[in-house]
Amino acid sequence: MTEQKALQDYLLRLADSDMILSQRLCELCGKAPAIEEEMAIMNVGLDLVGQARNWYEYAAELIDDGRDADKLCFLRDALDYRNLLLVEQPNEDYAVTMARQFFFDVWHYFTLKSLVNASDERIANIAAKAVKEATYHLRRSSEWVKRMGDGTEESHHRIQEAFDLLWRFTGELVTPDETDHAMFKAGIGPDPEKLKQDWFGMVREVAAQATLNTGAEDAWMYMGGKSGVHTEHLGFILAEMQFLPRAYPDATTW
């Protein structure tokens, strides 16, 4: 794999993961447990959409096949998506929603924090803005995990069940592949081993404060999202997300 191809794939991973998670969060519009949460969730979703657009735009320039950011987002099939499997998992109850957000936010924060120092100036600039938003996202989701874990018997039970349910999708966040190694070697992506240590360190720290148990590092994990192998959930997300652009490909706004 050439460095150019690895960079394209890496940008799509960042963009797709942001975009698919934002779609999941937007499904909660009108369904959040409180008005304040409604606004917070939508704001997080909008932050992720904005970040996704920045990554898509850069990817489109590098791919240079006539597709712009919108076409990369709305006119690719599920097998072409490179998002993490974690972000396509259903919202379920609010404990699952926040556990999913927390696991992602820890990975996202440390990834962006590293990308701020990337040798690629465009990536460094995008990351510098995005990490500010990711810092807020992580603070919010970790506080929710601690609130539910150290709350009532019911809330503790639900968030522990959410951790147990989603743990099998977290390995992909910190298991590097050829693209991850290529990006680190090029001085762009984070050190895979350090990212793994940072992710597990923060997850365990917050879990301990929340009186929760985490899974084992060597537990069996689902893999494949970063290479285009997804769960059945992604197809349903894309069917809804891409309906209008596919049905009316030449439509324009006034």
pLDDT at 249 over 90: no
CA atoms 242, 169, 95, 111: torsion sign = negative
Lowest mean pLDDT among 140-144, 168-172, 209-213, 214-218: 214-218
Per-residue pLDDT tens over the stretch 194-207: 999 999 999 999 99
Residue 224 has pLDDT above 60, yes or no: yes
Tokens encoding 222: 């689902």
Domain edges within the chain: 3-247
CATH superfamily of 3-247: Ferritin, core subunit, four-helix bundle (1.20.1260.10)
The average confidence (pLDDT) of the chain is: 95
- Which tens digits make up the pLDDT trace of 121-149? 999 999 999 999 999 999 999 999 999 99
Q: For residue range 7-65, list pLDDT tens digits in order.
A: 999 999 999 999 999 999 999 988 878 888 889 999 999 999 999 999 999 999 999 99
Query: With 70 as the cut, is the pLDDT of residue 254 above it?
Result: no
